[in-house]
Amino acid sequence: MKKISVYIIAYNEADKICDAINSVLWADEIVVADSYSQDNTVALAEQLGARVVQIPFQGFGDLRNQAMAACSHEWIFSLDSDERCTPEVRDEIFTCLQYPQADAYYVPRRNFFMGRWIRYSGFYPDYRQPQLFKKGALVFKNDPVHEEFTVVTERPVAYLHNAIWQFPFKRLEELIHKANKYSTLGAEKLALSGRRNCSLWTALGHGLWSFFHMYFLKRGLMDGWPGFIIAFYNFEGTFYKYAKLHELQANWTPPASPPLQPVIEQQQAP
């Protein structure tokens, strides 16, 4: 049986890291790629037998490339801290790797949000990037977020049938935080790509299209409350990504505020 490394990227994920690691205890090696968490993520990971490597965060593309380099075995399975491997996926991986038909495999994801499994909104099957692959078969660009990748193999990419679970937002507060974080990284990515002259209408147009695409074309309206919130989250994240790009390029500075001296009252002549 071919040996498998699992890497999990994490930053301040103390409330999620244990469940993520517990779902892949079947692997030959678990590597937690941490970016100097301020909570007890590292301690919890090490207690469960994971090897923690510290990687300064310089974008998700660089983080994933370094995490893969830290893995020891021939095959790698990537898992985010908000994801859980299921017994069905574990068994399918074991079966698949007996006689691999590809060097990289997409793995479907089922998303659970606001107390229900999301069936539409583009969230199922939610193929993000190949998550099972031979070491060296996948290389990421150094993108800050929504990292692009290249499959370095002549063999076609394949797909697993069973899905892992994802819990993208534990609370609405986390959704708002993620929209803020990812819109900042997205603005940086746009700036690096040379995008310029972002107007209010550009930001609004992209935001509205993102909502329309998610809510109507991807049938998010079929998911009720969660579907609307997911679509609105995409509107906000997209709108603020372009608004923050405008902010970066405008580089506003406040007007000068010189020190004001005390007013000296003049004595009136007798």
pLDDT in tens, the chain (270 residues): 799 999 999 999 999 999 999 999 999 999 999 999 999 999 999 999 999 999 999 999 999 999 999 999 999 999 999 999 999 999 999 999 999 999 999 999 999 999 999 999 999 988 989 999 999 999 999 888 888 999 999 999 999 999 999 999 889 999 999 999 999 999 999 999 999 888 999 999 999 999 999 999 999 999 999 999 999 999 999 999 999 999 999 988 999 999 998 988 766 655
Q: Where are the domains of the chain?
A: 4-166, 172-250
CATH class of residue range 4-166: alpha beta
| Alpha-carbon span 120 to 221, nearest angstrom | 8
- Contact status, residue 185 vs residue 236, Cβ threshold 8 Å: no
